[in-house]
Structure 1
Amino acid sequence: MNEYVLLTAARNEEDFIEKPLRAVVSQTVKPKRWIIVNDGSVDRTAEIVRRFAAKEPFIELIDTSGDSNRNFGSKARAINFAYERTGNIDFDFVGNLDADVSFDPTYYEEVLSRFAENPRLGIAGGIRYDRVEGRYIRVKSAQNSVGGPFQMFRRECFEKIGGYLPLQYGGIDAVAEISARMHGWQVRCFPELRIFHYRMTGSATSGRVGVKFKAGIKEYLIGYHPVFQMLRAASSLTAKPAVFGSMAWICGYYWAFLKRFKRPVSNDFVRYLRSEQLRRIRSALPGLETRFTAGNRVSPISQTSMRQ
């Protein structure tokens, strides 16, 4: 069996939602079911989805009242709610699909073929291209990371990690793929598969500097190593908004630290993530190994330790 389902959380996406709708109905291998949660929209989102669903029986629209405030936690809850509706469906793979992306007609056929080639592949996807000032800019991505707007999971992997963890400031995709790697699954992006993303991540609720500040908060909550965080911010000094974006990024991280925000992930998770990040630092900057490795060894994890 090589069946898949798609899950989408959509709120006030009338400007974009036709793009994924047209992309999915054009696929050479269509999903067995596509559950779209209309998460409290007050625009024409539901109307547009219903128009497509009338012609494509695999599309199912669910209307919910949604959270009063738009955030990444509400998205995770909507996706998990949609997944609960798949209980009577036989499938092998499940994809999260944002309501503001598009891709080629063979995209899912290609992703499924990558899964077929590697039984340890738990999460797969392509490379994101963001639309910025009329141009598509390729978003840098590590080979073992897949963008949240289009993560495709092997079903066993998705259920092993417990779905998406609701996080107000984002990072639900990062936590999912880190959790997958902790449990022995491989995560791979395939640069030959392109995803076109029509809105900067987080820009539905914030300007660019605000996006960076919230990214800093998110990365503190997930457990990013402070050295890794500083190096990432320094490497983006020339990116728009120049200087101010990097400053906001660092300020968000240390503001969350000073406010003693409680992390929603386990200590095991933080240790595992930081061990990965320190390996990346050492590979890029030889000689740092002895300086930053103390206290960051990885401990064995249990099935129940993920969300303490």
Structure 2
Amino acid sequence: MTNNRPNIALVTPLKDELNNIDKFLDSVKNQSIPIKTLIIVENDSIDGSKEYLDRITELENIEQFKVININFEDTTYRVGKKYATIINTGFENLREEPFYDELDYIGILDCDVFPEMDYYKKLTGFLMNNPEIGISSGLIFTNEGKQHIANQNWVRGGCRIWKKDCFDQAGYRIAYTADTVSVALAHLKGWKTETLKSAKVISREVDVRFSNSSEKGYHAYYRGHTLLYMTLKSLYTILIKRKVKTGSTLLVGYMKSMLSRRPRIDDDKLRKYFKYYMFNKLIKKYL
């Protein structure tokens, strides 16, 4: 920490965000504390985003600004392992920086997510005062003030930060639902994860680019969730949230994945964590 000021590194995945770039960069430049580095990982943009970013060499309030350009054979927008690969590219590049050991916090900030001015001041203060918490985020709202996700206790993926010690110990895994997996990795290393309700970001609606309950059913199977857990989750979605199609498709996707023996995450400790997910949440410990 330099002069009692936290050193924060942010990684941003970006594809075809020309209309958002200026607003995004302004939200970072206007933070009430400086940002040590912002690494944008641009991939396969065709709307002029790459060329626009090429013209930016430095930004106020950001000590180092870097753009990495990568390409994929499949150029469509995809969450899952492709998103995790993009994020990990930024993390791997960050690890090679000479100032890496000086960092205090490492985060993800999606290009369609716009943090309030005190966002990182609030989060770093919160983490500094809670040594047991390794990952945190604020809550996400739309421009109209609607909260994105009902569960206020789930650490959001696109605007989270890790304490560097937690990041180094737990790591980041290229996997389906890498955000969920990274929380599990932190828990298995003895860290807690918690949202800061007073910290706020604005973003577009969740799943605007991707919404496929059947594939999310596979992701649950991939992680190692049990059939009982998925049945209860589907029933909750259908009966309580009144999303009949979403809940039923989620369970069907899980069942099809189970019957066809689709690949699962290749980590026994993680599969065990998700197998006992409900029990873990009840006892607040992680098997």
Q: TM-score, normalised by structure 1?
A: 0.80
Name 1:155's counterpart in structure 2. 164
Q: How far apart, in 2, do the equivalents of 1:15 and 1:233 lie?
A: 37
- Give secondary structure in 2 for the equivalent of 1:137: coil
Letter paired with 1:194 = K
Partner of 2:234: 233
2:152 and 2:222 map into 1 onto residues whose CA distance is 21
Is residue 35 of structure 1 aligned with residue 39 of structure 2?
A: yes
Aligned to 1:97: 109
C-alpha displacement of 1:54 = 4.2
Match in the other structure for 2:247: 246
Q: Deviations over 1:227-275 (max 9, x none)?
A: 2222222222268893111111111111111110121242221222332
Indicate conservation of the 8 Å contact 1:93/1:152, yes or no: yes
Matches of residues 61-140 of structure 1 in structure 2 within 5 Å? 61-69=67-75, 70-71=77-78, 72-86=80-94, 87=96, 88-89=98-99, 90-130=102-142, 136-140=146-150
Question: What is the aligned partner in structure 2 of residue 197 from structure 1?
Answer: 203
For residue 160 of structure 1, what is the amino acid of its counterpart? Q
Q: Distance in 2 between matches of 1:256 and 1:173?
A: 21
Which residue number corresponds to residue 302 of structure 1? none
Q: Note closer, same or farther for the CA distance 1:264–1:29 as it changes in structure 2 (3 Å cut).
A: same
The answer to whether the 8 Å contact 2:106/2:161 transfers is yes
Question: d(CA) in 2 for partners of 1:160 and 1:55?
Answer: 31
SS of match in other structure, 1:32: strand
Q: Secondary structure at the match of 2:263?
A: coil
Identity among equivalent pairs (%): 21
Q: Does residue 24 in structure 1 map to residue 28 in structure 2?
A: yes
Match of residue 175 from structure 1:
181
Alignment deviations for residues 190-245 of structure 1 (CA, whole Å, 9 cap, x no partner) = 122122221423x42x4x4xx21121111110112222222222222268893111
Give the TM-score of the pair, scaled to structure 2: 0.85
Provide, for residues 156-182 of structure 1, a one-character-per-residue CA deviation record: whole Å limited to 9, x for no partner. 21122232x223xx3100000111001
Matched length: 275
Residues 129 and 232 of structure 1, relative CA distance in 2, 3 Å threshold: farther
Residue 126 of structure 1 aligns to which amino acid in structure 2?
G
Structure 1: which 5+ runs fail to align?
284-296, 300-308
Q: Which runs of 5+ in 2 are unaligned?
A: none
Q: Given residue 253 of structure 1, which amino acid in structure 2 is its aligned partner?
A: Y
Change (3 A) 1:229 1:25: same
SS at match of 1:6: strand
Where 2:261 maps in the other structure, the secondary structure is coil
1:142 Cα offset (Å):
5.7
Contact 1:19 1:101 survives alignment (8 Å):
no
Does the Cα contact within 8 Å between 2:265 and 2:271 map onto a contact in 1? Answer: no
Query: Does the Cα contact within 8 Å between 2:280 and 2:286 map onto a contact in 1?
Result: no
Change (3 A) 1:228 1:258: same
Secondary structure at the counterpart of residue 147 of structure 2: strand
* Alignment RMSD (CA, Å): 2.6
